[in-house]
């Protein structure tokens, strides 16, 4: 998969949020959800429906790859 749809990105964020809920008084997202939320927000602001994998930074790419691996092993 070379493109990630906004819906797939949202599903990945929700996966990480369910696996590691927000914490602290500020309800900080886990690092995976936080990393994926940045490209997700850009898609919304730019009114785009998908983005290529190469637009993800290292942390977001690792979060995405781990999500795909874990989802496929369920």
Number of domains in the chain: 1
Whether the pLDDT of residue 24 is over 80: the answer is no
- Identify which has the larger pLDDT, 21 or 46: 46
Is the Cβ–Cβ distance between 2 and 62 less than 8 Å?
no
User: pLDDT tens for residues 26-73?
Assistant: 788 999 999 999 999 999 999 999 999 999 999 999 999 999 999 999
Is 16 inside any structural domain? yes
Is 47 inside any structural domain? yes
Cα(33)–Cα(47) distance, rounded to whole angstroms? 21
Is 73 inside any structural domain? no
Cα(23)–Cα(3) distance, rounded to whole angstroms? 31
pLDDT of res. 38? 95
Domain range for residue 18? 3-68
């Amino acid at each position: 998969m070379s493109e990630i749809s906004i819906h797939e990105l949202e599903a990945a964020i929700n996966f990480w949020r369910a696996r590691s809920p927000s914490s602290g008084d500020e309800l900080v997202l886990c690092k995976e959800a936080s990393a994926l939320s940045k490209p997700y927000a850009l898609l919304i602001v730019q009114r785009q429906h998908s983005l290529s994998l190469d637009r993800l930074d290292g942390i977001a790419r690792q979060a995405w790859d781990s999500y795909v691996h874990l989802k496929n092993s369920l």
